[in-house]
Amino acid sequence: MLKPLMNFTGGLAAALLVMSAQATALKQEDISVAEVLRDRALESSDAYSHVESLTVEVGPRRAGTKGDERAVAWAQQKMKDLGFDRVYTEQIDVKRWARGHAHAEVTAPFPQPLVVTSLGYGASTPEGGLTAEIVEFADVDALLKAPARKVKGKIAFINKRMERARTGEGYGPAAAGRSKGMRAAAEKGAAALLLRSVGTDSDRFAHTGMMSVDGVENPVPALALSAPDANLLEAMLKRGKPVQVKLNVHNEALADGPSFNVIGEVVGREKPEEVVIIGAHLDSWDEGTGALDDGAGVAVVMETARLIAELPQRPRRTLRVVLFGAEEIGLVGAKQYVDAHANDLEKIIMVSESDFGAGKIWRFDTRIPESKFAIADQMMQLLAPLGIKRGDNKASGGPDGSVFVAQGVPAMTLHQDGTDYFDYHHTPNDTLDKVDPENLKQNVAAWVVMSFLATEMDGDFGRVSTEH
């Protein structure tokens, strides 16, 4: 069931809502142009070449690293090459961290190496490593409930499997272990945390990702295990003898440093101050080349804007492509963007982000007033032939987009098929070969319909409910 969306920002928004209610439909001529754009996207868009370029010429680009710097330079140059009217950066401040080595091995009763990786911003072992018995928990809640004496001095092993789903809905429950596990382990005096990777594959890759580290007094090493290695520990534990694991980990916390949101605009012909934001995040984790996460999204929104910039005239409003920095380490670029532009947020008509890999789009969600559903319905006329069905009115806007939604900015989400996304997510295996060029064309076709019509529509969506 849809929750009713409520106006909450008072006077100005209420006024906008009244205005916009007067014209709830799109013009036929705009729909015709959108149709042409869509078909051009299907035939000749080339988002694949952008993600190819980013992965080959930059590759890994974790926030605050040299790769991140190169990505920022790459993005600016690419946007200029693609014919954007304005290209600029906005600096953000990021925590920095250097990944060193992470080795793990079972020392008893069945000595063999384990494939692990440090979770983001994780701590080191003492020089020479540490060896301790592992103690298994079904999930992070079981660890949280466990008495400290059961955990103290041991390596807490969270062994929760993630469920595969097109929507990726298994991610949240599994990722709780990643975000909260190390803190729980540290508070109970554990020697370290071993986490079954948050992923759906059964390959020998550990999935990294961000933890909550702020304010943890004595952080302990926190490592993800590949699924086959988690199976191995599980099988050893079933044999009933204590299982000893040796960890040797080195990472370094670094001083804060700069990163950047990279922004490119196709400037509106009539209302240049009114803005439709389409975004993706430029940063990636550091072990893959960030093809799916989020090179594909970067490519889709860039190509969407390129197609619109190639029209004989500029759209009515400004189309702003924002490539957010430091998404992976806590939506840092989006949060600092919203803070820096607090006074301009009302000029943001709509936000949408592409950040769920390179699968086909199958569902169109909105977060707009019900009185404006006619616009979404008209968009659907062009989206339905792409195999997309109408979803709900609880669009998150994507991870970075959700930061805008939290301020009442209307949002749309073009849901991608994420069935395989978490096979690769945050692993060394997130590489270009996982991207299907044909799927990207379908993505761009949908994005260009949504983006173009949002820039052209009469009236706007006002402000929307920030409830989930």
Question: Which of residues 286, 355, 430, 456 is near Zn ion by CB under 5 A?
Answer: 355
Closest distance to its own copies from the beta carbon of 69 (Å):
11
Q: Can you tell me which of 63, 79, 191, 227 binds its own copies, judged by CB under 8 A?
A: 227
CA distance 381 to 73: 39
Pick 57 or 370: Cβ nearer its own copies? 57
CB 408 within 8 A of CB 466: yes
Distance from chain centroid for Cα 399: 5
How many helices (H) and strands (E) are present in the chain, helices listed first?
14, 14
Helix axes 437-456, 296-309, angle to 10 degrees: 50
Q: Where are the beta strands (DSSP E) in 267-357?
A: 271-281, 317-324, 348-353
Residue 403 CB, nearest approach to Zn ion (Å): 14
Say whether residue 204 binds its own copies (CB under 8 A): yes
What minimum distance in Å lies between the beta carbon of 248 and its own copies?
A: 13
Binding residues with its own copies: total (CB under 8 A): 35
To the nearest whole angstrom, how small is the minimum distance from the Cβ of residue 331 to its own copies?
25
Asked whether position 323 contacts its own copies by CB under 8 A, the answer is: no
The answer to whether residue 294 forms part of the interface with Zn ion (CB under 5 A) is yes
Shortest separation between residue 454's beta carbon and its own copies, angstroms? 35
C-alpha closest to that of 295 among 87, 72, 52: 52
The torsion angle over the Cα atoms of residues 361, 367, 370 and 375, rounded to 10 degrees, is: -50
Is there a cis peptide before residue 109, judged by omega within 30 degrees of 0? yes
Residue selected from 136, 293, 353, 417 as contacting Zn ion according to rule CB under 5 A: 293
Query: Contact letters (x/-) for its own copies, 430-459, by CB under 8 A?
Result: -xxxx-------------------------
Q: Is 232 in the site for its own copies (CB under 8 A)?
A: yes
Task: Name the one range near Zn ion by CB under 5 A: 71-79, 161-169, 191-199, 293-301.
Answer: 293-301
User: Which residue, among 158, 163, 162, 155, has the nearest Cα to 142 in the 3D structure?
Assistant: 158
In 3-state terms, what secondary structure has residue 387?
A: coil
Question: Cα–Cα–Cα angle for 297, 5, 279, nearest 5°?
Answer: 15
Angle CA 298–94–193, to nearest 5 = 95
Say whether residue 210 binds its own copies (CB under 8 A).
no
Tell me, residue by residue from 118 to 157, as one string, x for binding to its own copies by CB under 8 A and - for no binding.
----------------------------------------
Question: Does 205 participate in binding its own copies (rule CB under 8 A)?
Answer: yes
Least distance to Zn ion, CB of residue 294, Å? 4
Q: Give the Å distances, CA to CA, from 439 to 218, 345, 390, 416, 449.
A: 46, 32, 19, 10, 16
Which residues are CB-contacts of 433 (< 8 A; sequence separation ≥ 6)? 291
In the complex with its own copies, the residue whose CB is nearer, 25 or 108, is 108
Tokens 């594909």 correspond to 296
Our CB check for its own copies shows the closer of 66 and 150 to be 66
Asked whether position 282 contacts its own copies by CB under 8 A, the answer is no
SS3 content of the chain, % helix, strand, coil (to 5): 40, 25, 35
Site membership for Zn ion, residue 30 (CB under 5 A) = no
Q: Say how many C-beta atoms besides its own lie within 10 A of residue 315's C-beta.
A: 26
Name which of its own copies, Zn ion, none residue 401 binds, using a CB cut-off of 5 to 8 Å depending on partner kind.
none
What is the spatial distance between Cα 451 and Cα 468, in angstroms, rounded to a whole number?
23
Q: How far is CA 454 from the centre of its chain?
A: 22
Say which entry of its own copies, Zn ion, none residue 66 contacts (CB below 5 to 8 A, set by partner kind).
Answer: its own copies
Cβ-proximal residues to 286 (8 Å cutoff; 6+ apart), any chain: 60, 61, 62, 65, 67, 99, 208
Taking CB under 8 A as the rule, does residue 429 contact its own copies? yes
Quick one: 117 or 318, whose CB is closer to its own copies?
117
CB 339, min distance to Zn ion, A: 21
Q: Does 15 bind its own copies (CB under 8 A)?
A: no
Stretch that binds Zn ion, among 127-135, 139-147, 288-296, 334-342 (CB under 5 A): 288-296
**111 makes contact with its own copies (CB under 8 A):** yes
Q: Which does 40 bind (CB under 5 to 8 A by kind): Zn ion, its own copies, none?
A: none
Binding residue (CB under 8 A) for its own copies from 6, 15, 18, 56:
56
Site residues (CB under 8 A) for its own copies?
A: 52, 55-60, 66-67, 70, 110-113, 115, 202-205, 227-228, 231-232, 235-236, 239, 288-289, 427-429, 431-434
Site residues (CB under 5 A) for Zn ion?
A: 293-294, 355
